[in-house]
Amino acid sequence: MTIPGRLQLLALLACSVALAGCPNGIGISCPAGQTLCGTKCVFATSDNGNCGGCGVVCAGELACINGACGCPGNLANCSNVCVDEQVDANNCGACGNSCGPGLVCSTGNCQPTCGGNLQQCGQSCFDVKMDRGNCGMCGNSCAPDNFCVGGSCTFICPAPNKTCPNAAASGVICADTFNDPNNCGGCGVVCNRGDICCGACVPNNNTHCGSCAPCAAGESCISMSSGFICIAG
């Protein structure tokens, strides 16, 4: 490592010890798609604590989606709470629109009964053939890796992921065999400590530094408290 590179590394270590934010420009290079925040490389497109920029925290139930705080899918943001305005009796069709006594929220409208093929659960109306929180009957919630198909909770693992035994518990999991260090390239293939999974177990070096991306020309892969990062020198 060159003298300037050593000085940059020492400066980074000094900032880490002092627990103060280190300015950019000290030689840290994040992998493609990541942003340097302090001394840590983050995905600003999905990091709830650095959403779209360093220190931008998503409030309440909001999630960081493509660099902006919001609600996933078709859910609506009602005072930093994500709700389904199609079925929420307190936010039916719009935030704050409550259905009165004897009414239910059906497809975003307050009305006396649920629409066709929908079942009343409290003051809400659901399609129990496909609703994961009311699958087959009111209150029957499917597990996170299950979907409601025809009123039954069914495990579905979309390609290119693979169905693998759950090493931590019973049952199975849907494993991303390109990134999962416990199922790397195939079920049950565990990477050694310090290695990363890029479809196969590989060591952290200039070719794969903290991720499956290589360091840029003139950079070296250095192990820090926050993980492996590319640094100039």
pLDDT tens for residues 102-160? 999 999 999 999 988 899 999 999 999 989 899 999 999 998 778 888 999 988 887 88
Structural domain count, the chain:
1
Q: pLDDT tens, 60-100? A: 989 999 999 999 888 899 999 999 999 999 999 999 999 99
Rounded to whole angstroms, the Cα distance separating 9 from 29 reads 12
In a domain, 183, yes or no: yes
In a domain, 122, yes or no: no
In a domain, 137, yes or no: no
- Domain range for 180: 157-211
Q: pLDDT tens, 176-214? A: 899 899 999 999 999 998 888 999 999 999 898 888 888
pLDDT recorded at residue 27? 61
Q: How many CA atoms lie within 13 A of 100 on its CB side?
A: 1
Rounded to whole angstroms, the Cα distance separating 27 from 18 reads 18
In a domain, 175, yes or no: yes
Give the type of residue at 228: F
Residue 9's nearest CA partner among 35, 39, 33 is: 39
Question: Distances in Å between the alpha carbon of 229 and those of 53, 198, 211?
Answer: 19, 16, 9
In a domain, 127, yes or no: no
Helix (H, G, I), strand (E, B) or coil at 179: coil
In a domain, 229, yes or no: no
Query: 39 phi and psi, to 5 degrees?
Result: -115, 15
In a domain, 6, yes or no: no
Residue 7's nearest CA partner among 26, 21, 22, 29 is: 26
In a domain, 218, yes or no: no
Residue 224's nearest CA partner among 3, 4, 2, 22 is: 22
